[in-house]
């Protein structure tokens, strides 16, 4: 079965607009174009649409060493012949764009299904998941406060006054966007931001601020029923995604066990599978990433088990897939999304890293070295880069 894979990083922005007409910002369109070939590493028989020029030799050579087929289509007529569509995430805007370019509607969710995906992508789903987990895991010593849905600016002000240091989040946003850290009192700008979110989306979500020690996620596949895919261990800066560590699941569990007991993580994983089977799987098929973190309070470590649920592919899931498919078990590395806006900066950096960290491949698997999973040209601003050791 031929699969057309689409990297649409503006998915969360499009979800916020719902069925309304939406125009992606130039930065998101550039991001999508530069990283369009990433899905080639993640799926069997993947095809990607790109209008980029011929692929650079360095990228072709890397793909050949790892036996990655470079199946690129350059016209929508050719793309429309594929049997299946696999986007980063489904939303109304993407479906309209595909229909406009001749892709059969039978390959897409219906309008009702798309609306249900949008509804489930609202941050209130994380609140429901937290309540479900706390009922199932009643013996947890520390119980993080579930997100609170705030529908008036007065409710926002009361929440801030009650809890002090908090994080306010738009109901649809991802990768650290659409959030504000409030320290005790709101500034005029923060108050205006919250009021605008309430006007546009009906609410803003309020959460307590926690001293995060380690961000991670558990990835699930809802293709049939909920099943565990793997872990994602990542870092953020001011809530914005930075990079993943490339590790096996057993190595990630070992690192997490330095903070919290593994039986708790396993119990959370099992309870989340039950929650997803009940509340998500009947309406959505695909990958779900559940973001969580370890935090410190009064010198002790605790688990926040449901910060955000992403009904789409994530960089963490992609890093896990890449490790599982192409990296030798036991190797350790980094996966990062790199952004350099200067015309030649990324091209020069890519060449320098390839020279400094030559790629070592044994029996079709990466052992050590550097590689870019997306082609780099003059003018490329975004790339997905990996180092292994």
Measured from the Cβ of residue 351, the count of other Cβ atoms closer than 10 Å reads: 12
232 and 189 co-located in one domain? no
| Of the residues 316, 347, 368, the one at which a domain ends | 316
* Residue 326 within a domain: no
387 Cβ neighbours under 8 A, 6+ residues apart: 333, 334, 353, 357, 369, 370
133 and 268 co-located in one domain? yes
The predicted pLDDT at position 33 comes to: 95
* Residue 195 within a domain: yes
Collapsing DSSP to helix, strand or coil, 223 comes out as coil
* Residue 340 within a domain: yes
Residue in the block written with tokens 């091209």: 347
131 and 19 co-located in one domain? no
Taking only the tens of pLDDT, the chain with its 389 residues reads 689 999 999 999 999 988 778 889 999 999 999 999 999 999 998 999 988 878 999 999 999 999 999 999 988 888 888 999 999 999 999 999 999 999 999 999 999 999 999 999 999 999 999 999 999 887 555 678 899 999 999 999 999 999 999 999 999 976 667 899 999 899 999 999 999 999 999 999 999 999 999 999 999 999 877 899 999 999 988 778 889 999 999 999 999 999 999 999 999 999 999 999 999 999 999 999 999 999 999 999 999 999 999 999 999 999 999 999 999 999 999 999 999 999 899 999 999 999 999 999 999 999 999 999 999 999 999 999 999 99
* Residue 325 within a domain: no
> Angle between the 153-163 and 188-201 helix axes, to the nearest 10 degrees?
130
Give me 175's structure tokens: 């990768």
130 and 110 co-located in one domain? no
Cα–Cα distance, 118 to 101 (Å, whole number): 23
The predicted pLDDT at position 175 comes to: 63
Residue in the block written with tokens 């569509």: 85
Show the domain range for 99: 1-120
Beta strands in 108-178, from DSSP E residues, in sequence order: 148-150, 165-169
Q: What is the DSSP letter of 138?
A: T
The predicted pLDDT at position 223 comes to: 87
75 and 115 co-located in one domain? yes
312 and 349 co-located in one domain? no
* Residue 386 within a domain: yes
* Residue 285 within a domain: yes
Residue in the block written with tokens 């249900």: 116
101 and 133 co-located in one domain? no
198 and 127 co-located in one domain? no
CATH of the domain at 277: 3.30.470
Question: Closest by alpha carbon to 187, among 159, 157, 150?
Answer: 157
Question: Closest by alpha carbon to 237, among 299, 175, 185, 193?
Answer: 175
**DSSP codes, 313-372:** --HHHHHHHHHHHHB-TT--EEEEEEE--STTHHHHHHHHHHHHS--EEETTEEEEEEEE
274 and 220 co-located in one domain? yes
200-213: string of b/e by CB count within 10 Å (b at 16+)? ebebbbbbbebeee
Model pTM score = 0.94
185 and 265 co-located in one domain? no
Cα–chain-centroid distance for residue 103?
25
Contact by Cβ (8 Å): 243, 337: yes
115 and 67 co-located in one domain? yes
134 and 156 co-located in one domain? no
Contact by Cβ (8 Å): 286, 312: yes
């Amino acid at each position: 079965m031929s699969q057309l894979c689409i990297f649409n990083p503006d998915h969360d922005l499009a979800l916020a607009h719902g069925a309304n007409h939406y125009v992606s910002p130039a930065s998101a369109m550039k991001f999508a174009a530069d990283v369009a070939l990433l899905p080639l590493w993640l799926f069997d028989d993947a095809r990607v649409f790109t209008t980029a020029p011929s692929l650079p030799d360095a990228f072709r050579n890397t793909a050949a060493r790892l036996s990655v087929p470079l199946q690129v289509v350059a016209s929508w007529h050719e793309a429309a012949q594929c049997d299946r569509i696999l986007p980063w995430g489904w939303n109304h805007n993407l479906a309209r764009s595909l229909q406009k370019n001749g892709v059969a509607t039978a390959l897409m969710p219906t309008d009702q299904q798309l609306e249900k995906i949008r509804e489930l992508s609202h941050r209130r789903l994380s609140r429901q998941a937290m309540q479900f987990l706390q009922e199932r895991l009643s013996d947890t010593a520390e119980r993080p406060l579930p997100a609170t849905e705030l529908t008036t600016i007065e409710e926002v002000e009361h929440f801030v006054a009650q809890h002090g240091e908090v994080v306010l989040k738009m109901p649809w946003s991802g990768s650290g966007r659409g959030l504000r850290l409030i320290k005790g009192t709101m500034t005029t700008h923060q108050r205006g931001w919250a009021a605008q979110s309430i006007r546009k989306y009906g609410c803003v979500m309020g959460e307590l601020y926690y001293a995060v020690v380690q961000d991670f996620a558990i990835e699930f596949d809802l293709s049939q029923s909920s099943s565990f895919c793997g872990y994602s261990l990542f870092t953020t800066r001011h809530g914005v995604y930075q990079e993943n560590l490339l590790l096996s699941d057993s190595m990630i569990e070992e690192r997490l066990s330095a903070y919290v007991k593994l039986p708790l993580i396993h119990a959370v994983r099992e309870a989340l599978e039950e929650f997803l089977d009940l509340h998500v799987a009947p309406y959505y098929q695909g990958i779900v990433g559940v973001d969580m973190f370890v935090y410190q309070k009064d010198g002790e470590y605790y688990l926040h088990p449901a910060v955000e649920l992403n009904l789409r592919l994530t960089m963490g899931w992609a890093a896990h897939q890449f490790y599982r498919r192409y990296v030798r078990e036991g190797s350790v590395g980094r996966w990062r999304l790199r952004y350099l806006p200067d015309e030649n900066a990324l091209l020069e950096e890519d060449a320098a890293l390839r020279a400094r960290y030559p790629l070592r491949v044994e029996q079709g698997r990466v052992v050590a070295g550097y590689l870019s999973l997306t082609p780099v040209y003059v003018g490329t601003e975004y790339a997905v880069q990996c180092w292994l050791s």
